[in-house]
Amino acid sequence: MLEIKNVHAGYGKLKILRGINLSVPKGKIIALLGGNGTGKSTLLKTISGLLPLMEGSIEFDGQILDKKKPHEIVKAGLVQVTQSKESYPAMTVEENLMVGSYVRNDRHGVQQDLEKIYEFFPILKTRRKTLSGTLSGGEVQMLVIGRGLMANPKMLMLDEPSAALAPKVVLEIFSNIYKISQTGVTILIVEQNVRMALLLAEYGYIIRDGVIMLEGKSDNLIHDSSVRESFLGGTVADTSRELSA
Amino acid sequence: MEFDFNSLFAFIIFGVTIGVVYGMVALGISLIYSGLDIVHFAHGEIYMFGAFFGLVLAKDMSIPYPAALIGAMILAGLMGMLIERVFYRRLTRSGGGYTVAGMGMIICGFGMSVALMNVAFLIWGADAEPFSIDLGMPLQIADIYIPQSYLLTAVVSFALMGLLHFFLKYTKIGLAVRAVAQNKDIAYLMGINVPVFISLIFGLACALAAAAGVLIGPMQSVQVEMGYLMLMKAFAAAVVGGFGSLPGALLGGILVGIFENLGAAYISPSHKDIYAFLLLILVLMIRPSGLFGIEAKVKA
C-alpha cells in the first residue's frame, strides 16, 4: 500500500534521511523502530508532505505522493497521528474529533464513525464535552488516534503512541491499535518501545542515523543479537517484565 | 451639587458603543495573532481604508448605508488577503512570534502602515471628510438622548461579533479556522489547506476593521491619519482582554471605551486619549497576562 524508495529528506540543507526503503503491505501492521534523533519523525513528516522530498519517491495506493501537499495526502487516505499530547487543548474532545473529519463530506458517515470511535474509546464519550487540555496523557493519545480515524483513512501512521505513558496504558492503547487494524486499516507504527511494537507488528524496520540498519520479521528481530544490544536494555526489559506480571 | 446619574448612564452607553468598535478592531488583531503568530501593526490603516471604502460607496456612488457597510467589508477583506498573499506570506512562512522572522514581520507591518497611509493620501488627500448619514432623530430613553448612529453601531457590532462567534463555534469551516489558529502542523495533518485558511483569517480580520471604520465614520470624520489612534486603542483593548483571546478582545474594547468616556467626563476631556493607556498600564500591573490571560495561553 505504501512504497518508499530511496528517500532522502531533511530540514533545509540538513539532510537527515539518506536513502530509506520501506514498504507497508495492505492490511498489515509494520513497525519502524529507532532511538531519539534517528530520523523516525523526519520520515513521517516527509511522507505526510510536511517536509519536501530531496530525492527518491513515495507511492501510496497507486498514487505518487512526491509533490503532493499535506492536505492532498490526507485526502488520498494516508493520515499521520503525531506524538501524544498534541490535541487542540482549547477545543472539546468532540470538536477535536470533528477536526479529524474535515476532509470528508459524508455527514452521515462522519456521525457513524464518531459513534464507532466512542465504542473503541468509551472514556472519550464520557468526556466529550470537556476541553481536551484537561485530559490525561493516555486519554489524549486515544483522542489523537480517534481524530486520525475520523478522516476514514486507508492507512494510519502512528508516531510513538507509547511515549510518556504508563505501561498499563500502553498495553490498552496497543490492544486498541490491533483492533483498529482488524477493521481493515493498514498501520505503520513508529516506536522506541521496541519490544511492544514488535509484539504488535508483523514486520519491522530499524532505523539509525537516517538509514535502515536492519529489517525483518518481528520474531526474528526480537531474537536478533544486535537489536537486543541496541534497544532491549534495562528500561525496555523492565517494561516487559511489568507487563507480563 | 447633586450627582447626575442620567449623564453617568449616558457616558457608559457611549463608552460601550465606542468600546465595541475598539473591540472589533482588537478582535481582528487577536485573530491575526492567533492565526499567524504575528502582531499586525498595519491594522489601523485597514480600518482607515475601510472607512474610506464606505465613504466612497455611500456618498460618491450613493449606495445605501447598510450595503456600503457590507461592500466596504468585502473590499477591505479582499485587500487584506492580497496584502497577506503578496507581502506577508514569505515572512510568516519562516515563522512568526518571537523568532527573528517575527521581528521582520513587525517591521514589515510598520512599513505597510506607512505605505497604506501614503496610498490613501494620494487617493483621497489629507482633509478630513465628513461622513454624514441621516438616520433620523436621536432616540430618547428617560432623559437621555442617544443618537441613532450610536445605536446602529452597537447593534451592528454585536451582530457581527455574534455572527463570528457562531461561525467559529458551529460551522465546519469555523472549526478548521480554530484548528489552524491553535496548531498549524496538526491542521495540515488533518487535511486542512492551511495557507488558504491563513488568508481567510486575514481577510476576516480586515473585514472587521473595515466595519469598525464605516461605523465610526458618521460619528467622527474620515481622514488618512485616523488609523494610528485606533490601532493603539484596539491594541490596548486586546492586551487588557488578554492577547489572543477573542472574548477578551471584545471585553477589553468595552472596558477601554467606558474608561475613556468616564475619564473624559469626570477628569478632563482634553486628555481623552490617555485613559485607554492608563487602563492598559493598570491592568498589566495587576494581571500581566490580561483579564482573560489564561485563555490567551491556549489561544482563541
Q: Is B260 on the interface with A (CB under 8 A)?
A: no
With 50 as the cut, is the pLDDT of residue A201 above it?
A: yes
Q: What is the pLDDT of residue B102?
A: 65
- CB-based contact, A82 to chain B, within 8 Å: yes
Q: Assess A40–B contact: CB distance below 8 Å, yes or no.
A: no
Is B293 in CB contact (< 8 Å) with chain A?
Answer: no
Query: What is the grid cell recorded at B4?
Result: 447626575
Residue A61 touches chain B, beta carbons under 8 Å: no
Q: A83 at the B interface (CB within 8 A)?
A: no
Residue B204: closest CA among B174, B244, B226: B174
Q: What is the DSSP code string of chain B? A: ----HHHHHHHHHHHHHHHHHHHHHHHHHHHHHHHHS---TTHHHHHHHHHHHHHIIIIIS---HHHHHHHHHHHHHHHHHHHIIIIIHHHHHT--TTSHHHHHHHHHHHHHHHHHHHHHHHHH-SSPEE------SPEEETTEEE-HHHHHHHHHHHHHHHHHHHHHHHSHHHHHHHHHHH-HHHHHHTT--HHHHHHHHHHHHHHHHHHHHHHHTTTSEE-TTHHHHHHHHHHHHHHHH-TT-HHHHHHHHHHHHHHHHHHHHHT-GGGGGGHHHHHHHHHHHH-TT-TTHHHHHH--
pLDDT at B295: 44
CB contact under 8 A, A102 and B194: no
Which three-class secondary structure state does DSSP give residue A73?
Answer: helix
Q: Which residues between 189 and 218 in chain B have a beta carbon less than 8 angstroms from any beta carbon of chain A? A: 189-194
Q: Terminal CA-to-CA distance of chain B, rounded, Å?
A: 47
Kindly determine whether residue B192 and residue A75, on different chains, have CB atoms separated by under 8 Å. no
> How many whole angstroms separate alpha carbon B82 and alpha carbon A204?
48
- Give me the residue spans of the domains in chain B: 15-131+139-227
A48 interfacial to chain B (CB closer than 8 Å): yes
Contact predicate A204/A227, CB 8 Å: no
Q: Looking at the 3D structure of chain A, how many domains does it have?
A: 1
pLDDT at B101 (0 to 100)? 59
On chain A, the residues whose CB falls within 8 A of the CB of B186 are: 82, 86, 88
How does pLDDT run across A9-52, given as a tens digit for each residue? Answer: 988 888 899 999 999 999 999 999 888 888 888 999 999 998 88
pLDDT number for residue B95: 57
- Provide the CATH number for the domain around residue A210: 3.40.50.300
Q: Is A12 helix (H, G, I), strand (E, B) or coil?
A: coil
The ipTM (two decimal places) reads 0.81
Of A48, A88, A151, the CB nearest to B182: A88
Q: Is A154 on the interface with B (CB under 8 A)?
A: no
Measured between CB atoms, does B233 come within 8 Å of chain A? Answer: no
Rounded to the nearest integer, the mean pLDDT of chain A is 86
pLDDT tens digits, one per residue of A73-105: 999 999 999 875 688 888 899 999 999 999 888
- DSSP code, position A83: S
Across the interface, which of A71, A98, A133 has its CB nearest the CB of B193? Answer: A71
Q: B187 to chain A: which residues are within 8 Å by CB?
A: 99
pLDDT of A114: 93
Using a CB-CB cut-off of 8 Å, the residues of chain A touching B195 are none
Give the model's pLDDT for residue A156: 93
Q: Pick from A49, A99, A151: which is nearest to B179 by CB?
A: A99
pLDDT of residue B34: 81
Cα-Cα-Cα-Cα dihedral sign, residues A141, A143, A146, A151:
negative
Q: Specify the pLDDT at position A245.
A: 46
Report how far apart the first and last C-alpha atoms of chain A are (Å, whole number).
Answer: 37
Over chain B (300 residues), the average pLDDT of each successive run of 10 is 75 89 92 83 94 91 89 95 88 61 78 92 86 74 76 88 90 91 87 91 94 88 88 90 83 91 85 85 84 52
To the nearest whole Å, the CA of A46 is away from the closest chain B CA by 12
Nearest to A42, CA basis, from A218, A142, A190:
A190
Cell of A96: 477535536
Residue range(s) defining the domain that contains residue A154: 2-244
Task: Give the model confidence (pLDDT) of B105-136 as tens digits.
Answer: 788 888 999 999 999 999 998 888 888 777 76
Q: Which residues of B touch A79 (CB under 8 A)?
A: 189-191
Query: Most distant CA pair in chain B: distance in Å?
Result: 67
pLDDT reported for residue B94:
64
Confirm or reject contact between A80 and chain B (CB < 8 A): yes
Give the three cell numbers for residue B175: 472549526
Pick from A42, A71, A132 the residue to mutate for testing the B interface (most B CBs within 10 Å): A71
Q: pLDDT tens digit string along A218-245?
A: 888 888 777 776 665 544 444 555 555 4
